[in-house]
Chain A
Amino acid sequence: MAETKEKSLSDEKPKPRVRPIVRLGIFLISHSFHVSVVCCTAGVLALFLLPVLAKNTYISENALMPGSASPMLSNQHVSDGNRLVKDLTNPNSKSSETGIESHKIIAQYMLDLGAEVSFHKFHPQMNQFHPLHFFSSPDSGKIQENYSCSSYGINTVGIIRAPHGDGKEAIVLVTPYNALKSGFGEALSLGIAYSVFSLLTQVTWLAKDIIWLVADSQYGEYAAVAAWLREYQTPKFSSLSTPNAEMCPDVNNLFELKGHSISGSKFSNSFRRAGTMASALVLKVRDQNEQFEDTISIYAEASNGQMPNLDLINVVNYLAVHRQGLRVNVEKLWSLLNSSWLKSLGEIFESLAKVAKSLYPKWKFGIPATEYVEGTATLASSLYYQALGVPTGPHGAFRDYQVDAITLEISPKFSLDKVWRNDILLRGGRLIEGVIRSVNNLLEKFHQSFFLYLLTSPSKFVSVGVYMIAFALLIAPLPMVAASLYVDANSSSNCSKGDSSTPSAITDTDEHSIAIRSWRWLNSAKLVFIVHLWGAIVSLLPYFISQIPDCSPTTSFMIWVLLSILSLLTLNSVLASPLACAKATQEKEWALVKSVTISSVFIGLGLMSVINFATAEIGALLMVPMCLLAQPLKLDVRAGTLRSFCRMICNLVLGHIAFPPAAFFLLKGMLDGFGNANVGDFWMWVESLWAWNSATYLFIGMVQLPCWVLCISILFHTC
């Protein structure tokens, strides 16, 4: 259409030849509708194709050499570990109320191996909302207030120094342990760690120091590990509050251990360190399990969707599957496994692959439908947990200090006889030994393999180069649509003016009005800016609301909503009032607003994709259709065609779904069922997001919410 116009124009008045790249741009802009439909469908399709495109993992770093050495962990070490388990589960050890006895037992066992032992006291830090602490590196925290003697945890730390090593690097092994109410699983995990530890005191191949951290998980596993890491990486040399926990009687009691031990120099009550941490493993054993196989689950997601190097997962997977015969699990969205539409989609892909293979035998990209469904479920959970930006275990604390870490959760098939226990100790221990040996082999830190990936199964992954395509396709139409809307809004008004006045009679006043008209988008930009400002205010509000004492989540949420609406109205009345009168005079105002909104969304999504890809992907799935479809309902009603009716329905549905709380409840309902949904849940969820410094929170507050508000305002635009 544009070309024909151009031709007709060039017939009248010769125009210089347009460059091909510009012509292509003009073509895309003029056909933005078709382009956007094609791109969005392709984007969604590419997302669903990801499990098919996933590659098999491989060990990228040659130095790791997993499984090349035969495991040295013998039954001797297993019986040592068993001894510790027995001592810990012994009812006598639980006589003390604070569980100090069991810490003493662990420390004594470590000392007997010749390891250096120290206790680390910590006060659990309350998670607080620091509005400016997003993305900032973890600091030593503020000066602590006076804590009472009762609320502290004790981490027991044992360090083996590598006999030939230079002590520059260390490997950390973490076992969360709650001395007060420890299940059998926790004791078993300590047993596994101890058997590995006792082996490592004897081996000669150790090049890196080994730190075994028994994290006191009575205030949460993450808090204990994070407190220890904070002390390790950013210690405070000054303590302003002198009456601290040193005065508490229990702690002094704890340090009496020193007197009992013969090799007293190995024990110290000061904080002990080893070198730079190379990697960390968190080991857990689940208490109850109904599965018929010994499985091991890998949790890798850290804050803001950061992942450890893929090689670490590969090593664990390789050793567990090929050496110890354990089944490896990665988190899945279980609800997706039974969905029939996914199955049929998988079947379609499978049959397509068959067709392709029959056409050309070298095309082998198909995977069986069941595998596809499983892959999609894993991918969805991978995306979900990365998007949430909340670490899935204590390993997340390590990632904040650029240490690669994963959590391994062993869920043994349940039985109580001794043979089984020895078996799980032996296999778990050999797995840990193998991983430590591999990491010990590393000369450099993990850098060979991927850091940006999504898992579709423990042995399959989608790398950044592949999954970015889906996202790029999804957001590609945004700038085109924005440009075409802008051009339309300008040219339509131009044309209407141009028709009324002959081209020869262009006066100064007209030129002036054209200049004003070409700057008209600034008004829309102002509106968009105001709404984004409001978004920033809304995302800051919870900080003040959380200061209100004794507030239930539901009331907090209500206060938040009320304050948000109030602030929007105030902002609108204060800042946007001159706009309102101007708005009435101009038709096509909504097109400009939409254009600016779309560009701001594009910028927001682009930025977010760099920070946390998964959030950006999920956000794009919600927001891109909403932005692209938004059109005043009045216009649609007026038009009355089937097409406009469809659009109206879509707009209304999307307008509901894309509202963040609505999206949250929908997702929650899909996962857990709608029965126990509560208004306060959203507040709790948001609270957890800011507590973990998740960038998703910022994204929701400053990109998604303003975009939603703008789209709604376009929907209800009076034109």
Chain B
Amino acid sequence: MVLLQRPHILLLLIDTHQFLQCWIAFGSANEEGQQQEEFSEELLVKPLPDHKLLAHFHFQSSAPPSTSNGCHHHLFPKAISQLVQKFRVKEMELSFTQGRWNYESWGGFDPISSSNAKPPGVELWAVFDVPQHHIDASWKNLTHTLSGLFCASINFLESTATYSTPEWSFPPASGNVRYGTFPCEAVCTENLTPWLRLLPCRDKAGIALLLDRPSLYRGFYHSQRLHLTSTESSSEGIDSGIILEQTLTVVLQPNSERAIEVHASEKHVQPSWSLSSIFGKQVSGRCVLAKSSSVYLLLDRGLVAELKFPNKENGKSAANGLTSENFWSNPSFELSVNPDRIFLEESSSHSKSLSILYMFQVEKYSESEPFDIGLMWKVPVAWLCQQTPLHASRFLMGSGNERGAIAISLKSTQFTEGFMSANSKDGSCELRVDVFQVVPWYVKVYFHSLRVFVDQQPRAVSDFIEKIHVSPSKDKMSPGVMEVVLKLPCRVNTAALTIEFDKGFLRIDEYPPDANQGFDIPSAIISFPNFHASMVFLEDDSLNRSPLLSKFQDKCPVMSYTEVLLVPLTTPDFSMPYNVSTIKCTVFALYFGSLLNVLQRRVAEEERFLKAKAAKKTGRLPLLLSKLSAKLRGSGINQD
């Protein structure tokens, strides 16, 4: 027994020793006034109007500046910190997305959609803290590193023809930003696994336990994002280290069986769900390394307005910590778990009603008593999510292999009226729209052909475009970039931008293996700098602030991505090179053969020869005979 116990004790000793060391290290860090490495995990669930459910996982790890504790980390992924140090990345965002964000029914005006709705495929942008002439080299190295790290073909963004340098329209406006997208990347588990490996508990404990691959990839939208900011190498005095923010946004259909079987009257009842029914798993306690671990349920403004909570006036008191009964046992729905806290949104200028956030602490739950919230709807509710001021869609015009046009059409949504009153302080109300569009070089855009239509009338470009920046594409070198600031009147119904292009020709080795599919034009970014999607929730303790909620408070401009376009280009018959080379060789042989023949031939000589032959009037046989006889005669002479 003793013998058996001894190693345990030894291990314990070692453990405590290490722990003490860690403790000392932390203590010293604290003494120096620095933060520790921190990790927090959060999940936000939000019912969507079209019977779907949005789940937004938010993991945040932060590391203090490396100057304080060398290059060793406890929680923070080392790969990321090395990457930041090596390439001196100031800010970076990488997203892998599958499916499309449905701006019309899932909204576009809240912090979740404006920062987590991403274009399909891979999108990467990075800001570097290096001299101008080193940026491109850093970018190339960064793409290769990330490509290895996430098992994705991000390295295709290395070539200068695929990434661009936005001047000012891209949100982190500065000259050091590089932006590239790769729309045809297929996103799957092999990208998720390395992403999860960056978490301290991976998907073995905590909220990440819910990330069941089959149910995630069955969803309608799936976007995993990695955003990091670092002030590691900034010249300014403030050092906050690196903050790594990993989010995963999925839109799922809670009820697999169709509503058709249900009676027509119950057709519009939202499906009831629980975490275990949508993910097939439950949360059994938090990740022990996490500082905070909580699950939120968000009822957005439209839904809250529709639900009509009986006593809205008491909202303030509820927010102050008095958990009022009627907030979760509403006549229209029922929660399976009592929320730990309820947050009410601070009054926003954009909307009359306020959203409600229910918070559940995961810490309380354990393996024996797993955490699982469920929501049961009792009556049909229908609401609309808050949409972007203008709904943007982009499409191709024209047909054929020669030329075409890209059109971006903006259509006002019903929410615009609400904003107008808020925005028209000074008599002339204007709506600012930024358009950022990258086109690959083989789509040769004629920027002079930019045309603006406002309310179905062709208008002069200078009337509505306040600022425009264009960098034309160079063949095989760089893509074309167009950044436009539009100033539209608030009462605009429709607006459209069209721009014409010619389709270029590629060399045969530049075609991808599936050339006949067509070529992608990456999404355009439409942003509305005048509008900020932020949600400020009333919180009492500012010390214990949740990273997700503080993220919601950030004033980020409302952004939306347009569709990816597919341009069919002329493709050669790929068996052609063989045919062409054979034909070419034949032609060359014929040409050179006849040329040499002509050059060698002496016409006059030939004629003389022929004449001589004609004079002799002898055939071949007589000639031979005469020669023979001459020889014979000659020999005879010799003999003589």
Contacts and interface: CB of A to CB of B under 8 A. Distances in A.
Nearest to A61: B516
A130 interface: no
A14 B99 CA distance: 84
Given A76-B260, A238-B458, A263-B49, 14 more contacts: A16-B603, A114-B50, A164-B98, A167-B563, A168-B520, A168-B564, A168-B566, A263-B105, A265-B49, A275-B563, A444-B515, A444-B516, A445-B516, A445-B568
Interface string B383-426: 01000000001011111110000010101000000000000000
A262 B393 contact: no
A273 interface: yes
Contacts of A402: 399-401, 568
B220 interface: yes
B518 interface: yes
Interface in B430-468: 453, 456-458
B601 to A, nearest CB: 10
Given A233-B397, A402-B400, A161 B382 contact: no
B458 A163 contact: no
Given A14-B613, A445-B518, A137 B399 contact: yes
B565 A168 contact: yes
B564 A166 contact: yes
Contact of B516 (A16, A167, A239, A447): A447
A234 interface: yes
Interface in B210-269: 218-220, 258, 260, 267-268
A169 interface: yes
A266 interface: yes
A504 to B, nearest CB: 19
Interface string B326-355: 000000000000000000000000000000
Given A167-B100, A167-B563, A168-B520, A16 B396 contact: no
A165 interface: yes
B399 A16 contact: no
Nearest to B574: A447
Contacts of B610: 14-16
B400 A239 contact: no
Contacts of B99: 163-166
Interface in B494-509: 494, 496, 498
B571 interface: yes
B102 interface: yes
Interface in A203-220: 204
B566 to A, nearest CB: 4
A138 to B, nearest CB: 7
B114 to A, nearest CB: 18
Interface of A: 14-16, 76, 80, 112, 114, 137-138, 161, 163-169, 202, 204, 233-235, 237-239, 262-266, 270, 273, 275-276, 400-402, 443-445, 447
A16 B605 CA distance: 11
Q: Is the interface of A mostly helix, strand, loop or mixed?
A: loop
A235 B407 contact: yes
B436 to A, nearest CB: 19
Contacts, number: 115
A238 B456 contact: yes
A237 B453 contact: yes
B569 to A, nearest CB: 11
A210 B514 CA distance: 22
B456 A14 contact: no
A99 to B, nearest CB: 25
Nearest to B607: A16
B456 A270 contact: no
B462 to A, nearest CB: 18
B516 A235 contact: no
B399 A166 contact: no
Nearest to B563: A167
Nearest to A242: B456
A137 B398 contact: yes
B618 to A, nearest CB: 13
Contacts of A114: 50
Given A237-B453, A444-B516, A265 B571 contact: no
A702 B411 CA distance: 50
A114 B566 CA distance: 25
B517 interface: yes
B514 A443 contact: yes
Nearest to B395: A273
25 contacts: A14-B607, A14-B614, A15-B610, A80-B260, A137-B399, A163-B220, A166-B99, A166-B121, A166-B564, A167-B100, A168-B520, A168-B563, A233-B399, A237-B407, A262-B380, A262-B382, A264-B382, A265-B384, A266-B104, A270-B411, A276-B396, A443-B514, A445-B517, A445-B518, A445-B568
Interface string B574-590: 00000000000000000
Nearest to A114: B50
Contacts of B571: 447
Contacts of A238: 453, 456-458
A131 B613 CA distance: 66
A234 B458 contact: no
A703 B393 CA distance: 48
B102 A401 contact: no
A249 B401 CA distance: 42
B398 A276 contact: no
B304 to A, nearest CB: 18
A263 B50 contact: yes
A198 to B, nearest CB: 8
A74 to B, nearest CB: 12
B120 interface: yes
A237 B102 contact: no
A265 B102 CA distance: 11
Contacts of A138: 399
A400 B563 contact: no
Nearest to B98: A164
Nearest to B611: A14
Interface string B477-500: 000000000000000001010100
B606 A275 contact: no
Contacts of B98: 164
B516 to A, nearest CB: 4
Contacts of A445: 516-518, 568
A137 B564 contact: no
A444 B517 contact: yes
Given A166-B100, A166-B564, A168-B565, A266 B400 contact: no
- With a 10 A CB-CB cut-off, give which of B100, B565, B603 has the most chain A CB atoms: B100
B47 interface: no
B183 interface: yes
A444 B50 CA distance: 32
B228 to A, nearest CB: 26
A266 to B, nearest CB: 7
Given A137-B400, A447-B571, A265 B105 contact: yes
6 closest Cβ pairs, A-B complex: A444-B516, A237-B453, A168-B566, A166-B120, A401-B399, A14-B614
A444 B571 CA distance: 11
